[in-house]
Structure 1
Amino acid sequence: MVTQPMPLFESYEIFIEMDFSMRKPVMACVREYIEQFPSSVEAIKGYLTARDFLRAFSDNDLTFTSYRTHVERLLLWTLIIKQKPFSQLKRQDAEDYLEFCRNPPANWIGPIVRGRFVTSDHTESTWGDPVMPNEKWRPFRLKQSKDSSNELKSPSDATSRDGEQGIAVGVTLYKPSSSTINQIYTICSRFFEYMVEDGSVAANPFRMIKKRSVSGGAPQQEAVNRALTPLQWDYVLETAERMAVNEPERHERTLFIVATLFAMYLRVSDIVGRPNWRPVMGDFRQDPEGNWWYHVIGKGNKAGKVAVRDEYVSKYLTRYRRFVGLSPLPEWNEQTPLLMTLRGRSGLSGRQVRALLQSVFDNALARMRDEERAEYEMNSLRAASAHWLRHTSATFDAPLRSPKDLQMDLRHSSLSTTQNVYYHSHDQERSQSVRGVSMRDRG
């Protein structure tokens, strides 16, 4: 049984140069460590999911480092403490994790070190190669005065991989601030939202936690509504259309992605595929009554179909197909990949799709600033992600469609989920409904 945590991910500079085509840890020491866990905890799958998530946020050194700290720590906790995979974590597990972070055990707390991994002068190390984990590294780090610097000493034969000696500190009481706990909650929740989008887990257990329990009863900010406003959506769609006109070779595909995700409430995995399914144009099928459906393999390898609106077919699907040299409408059993790289290779990764969508969001936000839109009109767009398109579309359509129809197209297993999330008063309508109500003269 593995009881001691060790670092799993390298520094930013080394991480971004990693060979991500290897579907296992690149470093032998990490690979051998992960392989010690029983198959029931799905350690390799959890590691690769965490690695893919970190790769999606590897454009910025500081962001990567912050996300690495919390995602790596969560993965180690699930493997060592809970001894279960991410897919089995429930709301109570998420609460247990936050409590664990408030009061971690002593053997999880250590000094701030310069190198997560060190090189050994010995030709053979415990891990079978000259790189080994820094024995002073711990998931929770605390600062300490130099007076206690002699309490922990680095091995005489080990030097950090960046050539600098780690800073030794003594162990004192670890007490995270409420802002630290909030950051843990936010990043872990974002990580699970990523897995929900990718189909790796069914739900986000952190999202189910009552806000007041995150920091022990301290007031919390209202949760962000993950839907664009009608104004923001107009800017996003118009921006995608402008990008397609200005750089068609690069962005006709981007426009198609934006329109496809929005039109059918799709997740990113619904257009990039899964290990056992790759979407093709033939997944668009017309029934005997002339209705178009998009057939998809969703979460849990569950087959489903989504009703396709006429405007999408006539305006966006046919436009993209003509651009790539296909007939206006998909043919029966057509095997043309739904998405292709600019060089014509089959398929895009989820990371590539999210990067394209982020470029649209960024350009839309820039246009809003250039046109001097008010700050309150732009603020939530700064937090938008790929999954927002699904929520935005469903939010807009809910007043116009029956809950049962929307549930079927969202592929929610429960009608109550659809009703609780989308059939409520919109903030704009809620605000308008009270503006004209007088405080007097009620009649």
Structure 2
Amino acid sequence: MSTQPMPIFETYEIFIDMDFSLREPSMTCIRQYIEKFPALVEANKGYLTTREFLRAFSDNSLTFTSYRTHVERLLLWALIIRQKAFSQLKRQDAEDYLEFCRNPPAVWIGPIVRGRFVTCDHTESAWGEPVIPNPKWRPFSLKCTKDSSDGLTPAPDDASQDIELGAAPGVVTRYKASQSTINQIYTICSRFFEYMVEDGTVAANPFRMIKKKSLNRGTPQEEGTNRALTPLQWDYVLETAEHMAVEEPDRHERTLFIVATLFAMYLRVSDIVGRPNWHPVMGDFRLDPEGNWWYHVIGKGNKAGKVAVREEYISKYLTRYRRFVGLSPLPEWNEQTPLLMTLRGRPGLSGRQVRALLQSVFDNALARMREEERGEHETNSLRVASAHWLRHTSATLDAPLRSPKDLQMDLRHSSLSTTQDVYYHSHDQERSRSVRGIGMRDRG
């Protein structure tokens, strides 16, 4: 396939005003471009998945712009170069993509342009609309000045943040991806796939399986991860959420409650935002005759289940949040108060909103660790953490303290072997301590 890469997503200002109920691109030129690809690459599904990921991080324009660059580029590569759907990409594909980003072909490289989309001087275009893709746009940008003698005018809604300053007229810098750029590509693409894994779009994250040698001068995170924070990182995340709740209670008491709830019961995001046929309420917390608290949930496959609730969560986090929103300290029998509400009091939050709140906690926790001069080896895995990591982190930390069967029931795994294979393994810190004091001789 010789399809030329073209921009697929708009600027931040246009994107946030989109009608997300449409199950296809709203711009004619993008829709026609997507329709060019064969059915087997699932181009429209890839577009919609990428769009939802970007929407989850649309609270901040800078974050959106950075993420858009990398996931749009990955989508174009999958469709044009690899000719595969996201669900078909494997570890080797991920490694090949990183190598592609180190040395992209010339047709994928161009000058930094003012607008991704431009207005056409003519009343009719090949796309049937006045706004068309900027023909000078490329997925990879060179540092050079722009030639505006093409008869095209930047679209009025396009931001001008992409202008490269300081380049002398006519000077072109040869494209070369730095190691930090490759690391950033890896981090964002891995986070994208973690999002798709959690959403059920793909079965695994191919970037997570990449070995250090594939990233050249990679960092420990790039050797792979079990998607669990270290105890130190988790302490920072929880403390950060608590600090945010104190500093901005109207906004972040709910954020702290979300963090604590997901962690305390190994929950998925869908377990607190609900499903089409089930909406979580406070009455889903129930006290049995023996005085034990349980959280009743409708999980994957519409399977009903219940999760044991730890005492500290009830006494410290659930009661705190309920008091904050004006409720009695403990849930009442059959209470129908929504588990989560918007800041304006409307029932329910979307998964996108929950993930955005959690990402703000992860980002602030990482910033605190850097301010306190924590080493790179202590912070690396936090850079790619996602909402689903709280479930894995809690189960990983609890595994040495609980029986496999009990943990399996609360994780709602259908197979005990899944729980044992994932969580009952040698922890790195324990493994390191076990060998640290063993000498080279004198074994006794």
Interval of TM-score (by shorter of Structure 1 and Structure 2) = 0.7 to 0.9
One-letter amino acid of the structure 1 residue matched with residue 137 of structure 2: W
User: Is 1:296 matched with 2:298?
Assistant: yes
Alpha carbons 1:136, 1:154 under 8 Å: kept: no
Range that drifts further, 305-314 or 321-330: 321-330
Tell me what 2:75 maps to: 75
State the secondary structure of the residue aligned to 2:153.
Answer: strand
- Superposed displacement of residue 76, structure 1: 1.9
Tell me what 1:329 maps to: 331
Tell me what 2:202 maps to: 201
One-letter amino acid of the structure 1 residue matched with residue 341 of structure 2: M
Alpha carbons 1:112, 1:169 under 8 Å: kept: no
State the secondary structure of the residue aligned to 2:208.
Answer: coil
Match of 1:220 among 197, 218, 232: 218
- Superposed displacement of residue 107, structure 1: 4.3
One-letter amino acid of the structure 2 residue matched with residue 350 of structure 1: G
Q: Deviations over 1:171-194 (max 9, x none)?
A: 999775665544433321121012
Structure 1 residues 115, 310: closer, same or farther in 2, change over 3 A?
closer
1:19-30 matches, cutoff 5 A: 24-30=24-30
User: Is 1:117 matched with 2:117?
Assistant: yes
One-letter amino acid of the structure 1 residue matched with residue 189 of structure 2: C
Q: Deviations over 1:386-419 (max 9, x none)?
A: 3332232112101012334434433456655544
Structure 1 residues 184, 247: closer, same or farther in 2, change over 3 A?
closer
> Structure 1-normalised TM-score?
0.77
1:362-377 matches, cutoff 5 A: none
One-letter amino acid of the structure 2 residue matched with residue 221 of structure 1: T
State the secondary structure of the residue aligned to 2:201.
Answer: coil
Q: Name stretches of at least 5 consecutive residues in structure 1 with no aligned partner.
A: none
Q: Name stretches of at least 5 consecutive residues in structure 2 with no aligned partner.
A: none
Percent identical pairs in the alignment equals 75
Question: Of the two structures, which has the highest relative contact order with CA contacts closer than 8 Å and spacing of 6 or more?
Answer: 2
- Superposed displacement of residue 109, structure 1: 4.1
Give the Cα–Cα distance (whole angstroms) in 1 for the partners of residues 367 and 106 of structure 2.
48
Give the Cα–Cα distance (whole angstroms) in 1 for the partners of residues 370 and 95 of structure 2.
40
- Superposed displacement of residue 43, structure 1: 3.2
Q: Deviations over 1:294-332 (max 9, x none)?
A: 32333xx45353522241345433543454455633534
Tell me what 1:348 maps to: 349
Structure 1 residues 172, 340: closer, same or farther in 2, change over 3 A?
closer
Give the Cα–Cα distance (whole angstroms) in 2 for the partners of residues 155 and 414 of structure 1.
65
Give the Cα–Cα distance (whole angstroms) in 1 for the partners of residues 376 and 97 of structure 2.
35
- Superposed displacement of residue 257, structure 1: 0.9
Q: Deviations over 1:338-382 (max 9, x none)?
A: 211121112123343234335545666787789x68657974586
Give the Cα–Cα distance (whole angstroms) in 1 for the partners of residues 130 and 86 of structure 2.
31
Structure 1 residues 102, 442: closer, same or farther in 2, change over 3 A?
same
1:44-193 matches, cutoff 5 A: 44-58=44-58, 63-101=63-101, 104=104, 107-142=107-142, 156-161=150-155, 180-193=181-194
Give the Cα–Cα distance (whole angstroms) in 1 for the partners of residues 376 and 101 of structure 2.
34
Alpha carbons 1:284, 1:295 under 8 Å: kept: no
Q: Deviations over 1:159-210 (max 9, x none)?
A: 2336999999999997756655444333211210122233332221221233
Give the Cα–Cα distance (whole angstroms) in 2 for the partners of residues 175 and 248 of structure 1.
46
One-letter amino acid of the structure 2 residue matched with residue 387 of structure 1: H
State the secondary structure of the residue aligned to 1:207.
Answer: helix
Tell me what 1:10 maps to: 10
- Superposed displacement of residue 41, structure 1: 4.1
Structure 1 residues 234, 98: closer, same or farther in 2, change over 3 A?
closer
Give the Cα–Cα distance (whole angstroms) in 2 for the partners of residues 339 and 175 of structure 1.
47
1:278-293 matches, cutoff 5 A: 278-284=279-285, 292-293=294-295
State the secondary structure of the residue aligned to 2:257.
Answer: helix
Tell me what 1:253 maps to: 254
Alpha carbons 1:160, 1:166 under 8 Å: kept: no
Give the Cα–Cα distance (whole angstroms) in 1 for the partners of residues 174 and 366 of structure 2.
44
Alpha carbons 2:111, 2:138 under 8 Å: kept: yes
> Structure 2-normalised TM-score?
0.77
Give the Cα–Cα distance (whole angstroms) in 2 for the partners of residues 247 and 100 of structure 1.
44
Give the Cα–Cα distance (whole angstroms) in 2 for the partners of residues 45 and 122 of structure 1.
32
Count of residue pairs brought into register by the alignment:
430
- Superposed displacement of residue 63, structure 1: 4.5
Give the Cα–Cα distance (whole angstroms) in 2 for the partners of residues 78 and 367 of structure 1.
36
One-letter amino acid of the structure 2 residue matched with residue 295 of structure 1: V
Q: Deviations over 1:198-249 (max 9, x none)?
A: 333222122123332x24xx35322275544445544544554565566554
- Superposed displacement of residue 266, structure 1: 1.9
